[in-house]
Structure 1
Amino acid sequence: MTPADDSSEIPGRAKKFLVRLLHVYFALSRGMTLGVRAACYDEAGRVFLVRHSYVPGWHLPGGGVERGETVMDALAKELREEGNLEIIGPTSLFHVYFNRSISRRDHVVLYRVNVRQTAPRLADREIVEARFFDPLALPQGTTAATLRRLGELGGEVPPSHHW
Structure 2
Amino acid sequence: MANNEIRSWQSKILVRVVHVYFAATRGMTMGVRAACFDPSGRVFLVRHSYVPGWHMPGGGIERRETSHDALVKELREEGNLRIIGEPKLFQVYLNTSASRRDHVVFYRADVEQTAPRKPDAEIVESGFFALDALPEGTTEATKRRLRELSGEEPAAHYW
**Shared fold (TM-score greater than 0.5)?**
yes
Asked if residue 54 in structure 1 is aligned to residue 41 in structure 2, the reply is no
Asked if residue 154 in structure 1 is aligned to residue 147 in structure 2, the reply is no
Shift of 1:9: 9.7
CA offsets 1:12-67 (integer angstroms, 9 cap, x no match):
11110110110000000001000000000001110000000000000000000001
Asked if residue 40 in structure 1 is aligned to residue 36 in structure 2, the reply is yes
**5+ residue gaps in structure 1?**
none
Tell me which of 56, 65, 73 is aligned to 2:69.
Answer: 73
Tell me which of 69, 93, 96 is aligned to 1:97.
Answer: 93
Give SS of 1:107's match. Answer: strand
Shift of 1:10: 6.3
Rounded Cα–Cα distance in structure 1 between residues aligned with 2:11 and 2:155? 42
Rounded Cα–Cα distance in structure 1 between residues aligned with 2:5 and 2:22? 23
Q: How many residues align?
A: 158
Give SS of 1:20's match. Answer: helix
Tell me which of 17, 20, 26 is aligned to 2:16.
Answer: 20
> Deviation above 2 Å: which 4+ runs of structure 1?
7-10
TM-score by length of 1: 0.94
Larger radius of gyration: 1
Rounded Cα–Cα distance in structure 1 between residues aligned with 2:143 and 2:154? 13
Cα RMSD for the two superposed structures = 1.4
Give SS of 1:131's match. Answer: strand
What letter matches 1:99 in structure 2?
Answer: N
Shift of 1:8: 9.7
